[in-house]
Structure 1
Amino acid sequence: MDIKNYLDSTYLKTAEQAGLTNDANTKIVTSFIQEAIDQRFKLIMIRPDHVCLAKEMILKASSKVTIGTVISFPEGLNSLEEKLAEAQKAIDDGADDLDFVCNYQAFISGDLETVRNEILSGTQLGLEHNKIVKWIIEVAALTEKQIIQISAFIKNIVVSNFKEELYQNVFVKSSTGFYVTENNLPNGATVPAIIMMLENASPLSIKAAGGVRTYEEAAAMIKLGVRRIGTSGALAIASGQETDSNY
């Protein structure tokens, strides 16, 4: 197994979050893109404003690395119109994967119509442009029952509205990696959460993001059935080391 085929190398900090100037933060983004090219990772996952930079670098290197970006990140509270506009711009800029943050707070409060509309419209927009669409559900904010319910909810919308051959292009993704938990509890993918997602989102694909820190943990996730792993420590994981990254 070549673990690099499963790794979405990720850098999603803004300059403010990183405590850097915009130029210094862009240098880090550039280094992550170059590393993904050099290491032949599956994908480089970056903020929308860096998609054009990644596209330029990847084309120049004649690389097969794909580009992913996040939509309505990290809270998922933007309106449907805002989410679709952000996704369309990312498509126009050259993104291959669109990782939408699902409005999980609306789901928790019982506003299923809002969630249904964004899942349906966002998925349709991505698939119409031959993109991969992922829905981040933020497992750390959910109870076990809610993880099961929202995974099945997304699955049912996709299965009811899109062709079977497209199911593999829609993912349910565990986490943003930025959710703040109490008492230092895990804020990303855990084995129990991933198993619940796999059991209830199938035949959709699953991406484990946040909290995967070693090659062994990544391999165990893949063995469970995960198709993608999001990590800001892709090089360490691929090298058999442990990443100290928190997302």
Structure 2
Amino acid sequence: MNIKKYLDSTYLKTADQAGLDKEGNIKVVKGFVQEAIDEHFKLIMIRPNMVSLVRQMITDATSDLQIGTVIDFPDGQATIDVKLVEAKKAIQDGADDLDFVCNYEAFKNGNIDLVKEEILKGTQLGIENNKVVKWIIEVAALNDKQIIQLTALIKNVVISNFKEANFASVFVKSSTGFYKTENNLPNGATIPVISLMLENATPLSVKAAGGVRTYGEAVEMINLGVNRIGTSGAKAIADGESTNSGY
């Protein structure tokens, strides 16, 4: 199996989170990008403020590596307008994939109309600009029923408002990797959670993000039906090793 085509190599730490100064963090980002180019991964996932820098690196290397970035990360509680402004800037800077953090707290509080509106407008922006859109639902913040309901809500908004040809460009994604759980419980993709998402996302695709740390786990996710895997240990996984990365 060519597992590399499924891997979104991911580095989403700010300088403060990494315990580095600004230049030190940029150096880490550049290292991840160069590795992704050398290893022929599908995509590099980075913060929005790094997109233009990474686009230039990829252009200079004449690589077909794609760029993904996160929108309203990691909390997802900004207004729809703020989300769209950030996404438009990422598109201008050269992003290929827009991974929006869904306002899962609004969903949990019953504000379904707000969530529907942001899914509609965010997806529309992406599709109009020929981008892939992923909606992060933050599974660790939800119970099983909520995972099913929010996944189905995203699916239903998309199939009700967009053409079938667009469905392949929209994903439901499990996690930010930054959610703090109690008692060290998993905060990312697990087999039970991904199974629920797959059962309720079709015909949309699912991205398993966070918690996939070995080649075997990655293969298991792919065999379940996921089309993308987000990990900060992409090379280790591709090499058949395990990674102790936090995401």
| TM-score scaled by length of structure 2 | 1.00
Per the alignment, in what secondary structure is the counterpart of residue 172 of structure 1? strand
Aligned to 2:211: 211
Q: Deviations over 1:187-235 (max 9, x none)?
A: 0000000000000010000000000000000000000000000000000
Aligned to 1:86: 86
Per the alignment, in what secondary structure is the counterpart of residue 45 of structure 1? strand
Aligned to 1:149: 149
Per the alignment, in what secondary structure is the counterpart of residue 186 of structure 1? coil
In the alignment, structure 2 segments of 5+ residues that lack a partner are none
- 2:67 is aligned with 1:67: yes
Aligned counterparts of 1:205 and 1:69: Cα–Cα separation in 2: 18
- 2:230 is aligned with 1:230: yes
Deviation at 1:62, TM superposition (A): 0.8
Deviation at 1:180, TM superposition (A): 0.3
> For residues 1-247 of structure 1, what are the structure 2 equivalents within 5 Å?
1-247=1-247
Runs of 4+ in structure 1 off by over 6 angstroms are none
AA aligned opposite 1:26: I
Q: Deviations over 1:133-165 (max 9, x none)?
A: 000000000000000000000000000000001
Aligned counterparts of 1:144 and 1:34: Cα–Cα separation in 2: 38
Identity score, percent: 68
Per the alignment, in what secondary structure is the counterpart of residue 9 of structure 1? strand
Aligned counterparts of 1:21 and 1:159: Cα–Cα separation in 2: 44
Aligned counterparts of 1:77 and 1:141: Cα–Cα separation in 2: 13
Q: Deviations over 1:104-143 (max 9, x none)?
A: 0000000001101100000000000000000000000000
Per the alignment, in what secondary structure is the counterpart of residue 221 of structure 2? helix
Aligned counterparts of 2:62 and 2:18: Cα–Cα separation in 1: 30
Aligned counterparts of 2:136 and 2:115: Cα–Cα separation in 1: 12
Per the alignment, in what secondary structure is the counterpart of residue 229 of structure 1? strand
AA aligned opposite 2:60: K
Number of aligned residues: 247
Aligned counterparts of 1:21 and 1:214: Cα–Cα separation in 2: 30
| TM-score scaled by length of structure 1 | 1.00
Aligned counterparts of 2:185 and 2:7: Cα–Cα separation in 1: 24
Per the alignment, in what secondary structure is the counterpart of residue 37 of structure 1? helix
Deviation at 1:246, TM superposition (A): 1.2
Aligned counterparts of 2:217 and 2:201: Cα–Cα separation in 1: 21
Deviation at 1:186, TM superposition (A): 0.1
Aligned counterparts of 1:174 and 1:21: Cα–Cα separation in 2: 30
Per the alignment, in what secondary structure is the counterpart of residue 133 of structure 1? strand
